[in-house]
Structure 1
Amino acid sequence: MDPTSVDIVALPVVEIELSRLSSVASPRTSGEDPEHIETLLSTEGELPPILVHRPTMRVVDGLHRLKVAQLRGDTKIVSRLVDGTESDAFVLAVEANIRHGLPLSLADRKRAAVHIIGTHPQWSDRRVASATGISAGTVADLRRRGGDSGTEARIGRDGRIRPADGSGRRRLAAELIRSDPGLSLRQVAKQVGISPETVRDVRGRLERGESPVPDGSIRLRAESHPLHRTEPGFARTVGRDRLAMLERLKADPALRLSETGRILLRMLTVHSIDGQEWERILHNVPPHLYSVVAEFAREHARVWTGFADSLDNWATSLAAE
């Protein structure tokens, strides 16, 4: 079972006797929260079903709802049963606890990430990050601190297998770009074995006179934020050349005088804010919305990547005519 692909809502709802359930192995190390329990006790109507790992009858999600049922003197509770391994059930427990109800603390999310790295070493940093609600950079740090010997390849959130250490492939991509600047992103990506988006990043770094391999030296000024640091390069100020290009695009009649062109210009302008503005937005995202906003951001990134790849393909086709 792939825990990240389980449609929990589609699972049938059943009633289970409380005496059959176990509440061990929760990712929440702080235990029960009395205030949250009081809130649930005062809630009118039936609470949502809890999630239970069928092979062990352990509560995957819903320990506070289980406690409420016990305090009310109930003998049964509405539940959804999930199969699979205990390690997959733990992933589901973490995902459920960061997406609704009482969120896991940052410390619990980091501990959960370390646990998942151990049980799912083949998962990419981004896939572990998606399950635990922390950044991929933080997952990479935790992996290094744990003495991860590294696998040759890891499985990403999209199910695709990618090399775990891409530094060598980035350098090879840089050599190809230098030797033949006319190669498309996809052509370089296919030869080297990395994604077109990674090739795009390598090309951009070469154009800025930087190393093709990120050195991790550029980070957000996170001292003022109590929860986390961000990944290298996130807050890099938009370059002057990029801003100048944006101004030229705004003056281009082909874009400025058409409805779709104006929409594109507005979208490009919104995403061209500087690093300090990104930092201000990041630090003001409410903690209970971290995972939700992160997923929206990743989805928009995927859309932009597909958009860019299509343009690259069309440019390559035109050049070949």
Structure 2
Amino acid sequence: MSAGAGPVVRIPIRALRVAGSPRTAGENLEHVRALADTPDELPPIIVHRGTMRVIDGVHRLRAARLRNHPDIAVRFFDGDEADAFVLAVRSNVAHGLPLSLAERKAAAKSIVTSHPHWSDRLIASVTGLSAKTIGEVRRSGGVPQPESRIGQDGRVRPINSLEKRRLAMNLMRQNPNLSLRQVAKAAGISPETARAVRARLQRGEDPTVRKPSNTKRTEERRPPQTRVAQPLQMPDRVTIMRYLRTDPTLRFSETGRTLLRLLDVHAMSNDRWALLVRNVPPHARGTIAQAAMECARVWRTVAEQLERTAGPR
């Protein structure tokens, strides 16, 4: 979760704002004086471009003022204000002058409210707290919870998986002819989970009862050589982009944001694409067709490279 690898620019100190810091106790004056006395150039601070608010580096900003510098080195962050606060917390947790425990808990409460779809472990990685503590903060906050959360790996997982398994079990009992993919789609689970539910039903077990964590679950998975391939139902472009925009590993890196901007162009509806095609001037259609084919070739190469390194899904 970084500000990206954008260029360093010099910004007048008077143009910057200090507000909304996770440091509820304020700045440490001794630390400011120590930084001001350092002979070396201080690292660039991080600033939210939309508001010119300092995300990380308030002490460095104060030190620059003590040095009577008119400007300071800055890297800009282009996310929204909620994401800017997350970045401020993450930066100051790993800082040479870290946030106090009380400040980290207060920050966790804010992030649980602004990012309820993030998992406890993901928020814990930002705040430097344990996932258990984040769970306690979440339960005490009274924030409405989504049906699924995003983990540290960027994957979306359902919160109440047992309820979804129960729904799948009822669907299978009511209509044994439903395919695993049909059950999975209706219950909001993966085809592999649907297969596990069916296997336990066939053995006379209750799929909604959790097994001990040390119990081997190999019986819920078919050996690779006997697994029957299921036809994939690919999500549409809008659904894919909605999912990708919630992935923190993309939103908080310069590469990720660049990819999202490029992909966002192609997420237009088919009707909008058809309208664009109809309005292309006749004399330019051949040239644009060639350019489109070249773009398609580049994207195919990118897709093939990603597929080769994606690993199992």
TM-score band by shorter chain is 0.5 to 0.7
- CA deviation string 1:238-280 (max 9, x = no partner): xxxxxxxxxxxxxxxxxxxxxxxxxxxxxxxxxxxxxxxxxxx
Query: Is the contact between residue 15 and residue 78 of structure 1 (CA under 8 Å) also seen in structure 2?
Result: yes
Q: Which amino acid aligns with 2:223?
A: T
Q: CA deviation at 1:189?
A: 3.8
For the pair 1:89 / 2:84, whether they are aligned, the reply is yes
Q: What CA distance in whole angstroms lies between the structure 2 residues aligned with 1:118 and 1:90?
A: 12
Could you say which residue in structure 2 is the equivalent of 1:116?
111
Q: What CA distance in whole angstroms lies between the structure 2 residues aligned with 1:124 and 1:132?
A: 13
My pick for the range that moved more, 48-57 or 120-129, is 120-129
Could you say which residue in structure 2 is the equivalent of 1:134?
129
Q: What CA distance in whole angstroms lies between the structure 2 residues aligned with 1:153 and 1:68?
A: 44
Q: What CA distance in whole angstroms lies between the structure 1 residues aligned with 2:10 and 2:40?
A: 16
User: Of the candidates 84, 103, 106, which is equivalent to residue 101 of structure 2?
Assistant: 106
Q: What CA distance in whole angstroms lies between the structure 2 residues aligned with 1:110 and 1:95?
A: 13
Could you say which residue in structure 2 is the equivalent of 1:316?
223
Could you say which residue in structure 1 is the equivalent of 2:22?
27
Could you say which residue in structure 2 is the equivalent of 1:150?
145
Could you say which residue in structure 2 is the equivalent of 1:70?
65
**Structure with higher RCO (Cα < 8 A, 6+ apart):** 2
Give the % identical residues. Answer: 47
Query: Is the contact between residue 172 and residue 192 of structure 1 (CA under 8 Å) also seen in structure 2?
Result: no
Q: What CA distance in whole angstroms lies between the structure 2 residues aligned with 1:61 and 1:129?
A: 19
Could you say which residue in structure 2 is the equivalent of 1:16?
11
- CA deviation string 1:159-186 (max 9, x = no partner): 221112345468899xxxxxxxxxxxx9
Q: What CA distance in whole angstroms lies between the structure 2 residues aligned with 1:192 and 1:25?
A: 48
Q: What CA distance in whole angstroms lies between the structure 1 residues aligned with 2:133 and 2:43?
A: 32
Q: CA deviation at 1:118?
A: 1.2
Query: Is the contact between residue 26 and residue 93 of structure 1 (CA under 8 Å) also seen in structure 2?
Result: yes
Gaps of 5+ in 1: 174-185, 194-198, 209-307
- CA deviation string 1:39-85 (max 9, x = no partner): 21232210000000001000000000000001111110001011121
Q: Which amino acid aligns with 1:11?
A: G
Question: What is the TM-score of this pair, normalised by structure 2?
Answer: 0.55
Q: Which amino acid aligns with 1:149?
A: P
Q: Which amino acid aligns with 1:35?
A: E
- CA deviation string 1:191-244 (max 9, x = no partner): 469xxxxx9xx5444749xxxxxxxxxxxxxxxxxxxxxxxxxxxxxxxxxxxx
Secondary structure at the aligned position of 1:103 is classed as coil
Query: Is the contact between residue 11 and residue 81 of structure 1 (CA under 8 Å) also seen in structure 2?
Result: yes
Q: What CA distance in whole angstroms lies between the structure 2 residues aligned with 1:192 and 1:147?
A: 34
Could you say which residue in structure 2 is the equivalent of 1:196?
none
Gaps of 5+ in 2: 169-189, 198-206, 228-313
Q: What CA distance in whole angstroms lies between the structure 1 residues aligned with 2:196 and 2:144?
A: 23
Could you say which residue in structure 2 is the equivalent of 1:160?
155
Give the length in aligned residue pairs.
Answer: 198
Q: Which amino acid aligns with 1:83?
A: D
My pick for the range that moved more, 115-124 or 10-19, is 115-124
Query: Is the contact between residue 124 and residue 164 of structure 1 (CA under 8 Å) also seen in structure 2?
Result: no
Please tell me the root mean square deviation across aligned C-alpha atoms, in Å. Answer: 3.5
Secondary structure at the aligned position of 2:41 is classed as coil
My pick for the range that moved more, 37-46 or 91-100, is 37-46
Q: CA deviation at 1:102?
A: 0.8
My pick for the range that moved more, 122-131 or 106-115, is 122-131
Secondary structure at the aligned position of 2:123 is classed as helix
Given the superposition, is the C-alpha separation of residues 23 and 191 from structure 1 closer, same or farther in structure 2, using an over 3 Å criterion?
A: farther
